[in-house]
Structure 1
Amino acid sequence: MNRNPLETILGALVLLVAAVFLVFAYTTADLRQVQGYPVRASFTKVGGLTVGGEVRLAGIQVGSVTGQRLDPQTFEAVVDMTVLESVQLPVDTRAVITSDGLLGGSYIKLIPGNEADTLQPGDSLQYTQDYQSLEDLVGEIIFLATQPAGGGGGG
C-alpha cells in the first residue's frame, strides 16, 4: 500500500489540533474540587446531585461535594462537602439542593444564618431543604388547583 505523504501530514495535524483543544478545555474548565474544611448535611432527597458538584454561596462556588452515602438508621442521604477556609459559615447556615435551570445539574446553595458561632471542620449543617424536582412542583400545583375553592363549610 502506497500512502500519500500529504494524507499522513493532514492526519498528524488533525491529531495535534485535537490534543490542543483537549488541553485548552481541561485548563479552562474548573474541574478540580475545592480544598477546604469538611462539613456534612443530611437530606431526604438529593435529586441529581453528584460527587464533584458545586457548593455555592451568593452564586459563587465556595466548595465541592466530596461524597454521598445513605445513613442506615435514618435512611437519609448524607452529603459530605468541603468549604473554602476563608468562608466561615455561621452554625445556623441552611443548605438547599437546587438545580441550575431546567437542563442544568444540581448544586448545594448555602444560605448563611445570623449566629456568631461558626461551623468547625467535620460539623453538620442542621438546617437543610431537600431537592424539589419539576415533577414535584407540577404535582403540587395540580393538587392545589383541584381543591375546592373556599375552605369552610357554611350551612
Structure 2
Amino acid sequence: MQRTILDLWVGAFVVAGIAALVILAFKVGNMSTYNASHTYRLNAYFTNVGGLKPNASVRSAGVLVGRVGSITLDTERYEAKVAIDIDQRYRFPADTFANILTSGLIGEQYIGLLPGGDDEMLAEGGQFKKTQSAMVLEDLIGKFMVNQADSKK
C-alpha cells in the first residue's frame, strides 16, 4: 500500500513538472494569454524591419497592447508593410509613433508605440504616419569604423 502512495506522488510530481515546462514554453515562445479575436488592424511602413517577426509584441509604455500580424514587402513603395493587430481596449492618436525596438542588447525585436497628442484616433485599417525603422548593429558598427578612420586623417 505504501508503494502505491509513493508511485502516486511521483506521478503527480511528474505531471506538475510537465505542466510547468509547457507553461514556460508558451511564455518563452511569446504565446502568452493574448486574445486575438477582439482586435483591430493598423498598418505601418518601415524601411528596415531588422529581425522583427510575425506575432512579435506591440507595446506602449511597456504594456502589451497587440501583436504583429504580418510583414510583407510593398512593391510600390519598396518598404516593409507591417500589419499590427491592436487590442480593442486600446486606442491611439493619429500622430502616434511606431518604433521597432530591441529588448536588451541582442534580445527580440518588438514594436513600441509612443502616443501623440492628436484628438483624432486611429481606426480599423488606419496607418501610422510616423515610424522609425530597426537599428541594424552591422550598420552602426560600419558607421563607427568610418568615423574612426576619418578622425585619424
> TM-score of the superposition, structure 2-length normalised?
0.78
1:80 pairs, out of 83, 97, 100, with 83
Check 1:138–1:33 CA distance in 2 against 1; reply closer, same or farther (3 A cut): farther
Change (3 A) 1:93 1:16: same
Gap runs ≥5 in structure 1: 1-8, 150-155
* Paired residue secondary structure (1:55): strand
Question: Who is 1:116 aligned against?
Answer: 119
- CA apart distance, 1:58: 1.1
What is the 5 A alignment of 1:60-79? Answer: 60-79=63-82
**What is the match of residue 105 of structure 2?**
102
Quote the residue 1:37 is aligned against: 40
Deviation at 1:15, TM superposition (A): 6.2
Distance 1:103 1:135, change over 3 A: same
Q: Is 1:52 aligned to residue 55 of structure 2? A: yes
Q: TM-score, normalised by structure 1?
A: 0.77
| Structure 2 gap ranges (5+) | 1-6
Identity over aligned pairs, percent: 32
Distance 1:139-1:26 versus aligned 2 partners, 3 A rule: closer
Residue type of the alignment partner of 1:79: V
- Going from structure 1 to structure 2, the CA distance change for 1:142 and 1:43 (only over 3 Å counts) comes to same
Give the Cα separation in 1 of the matches to 2:149 and 2:80.
33
Match of 2:145, SS?
helix
Whichever of the two has the greater Rg, that structure is: 1
- Residues in 2 aligned to 1:69 and 1:54: alpha-carbon distance in whole angstroms: 17
Distance 1:108 1:33 in 2: 18
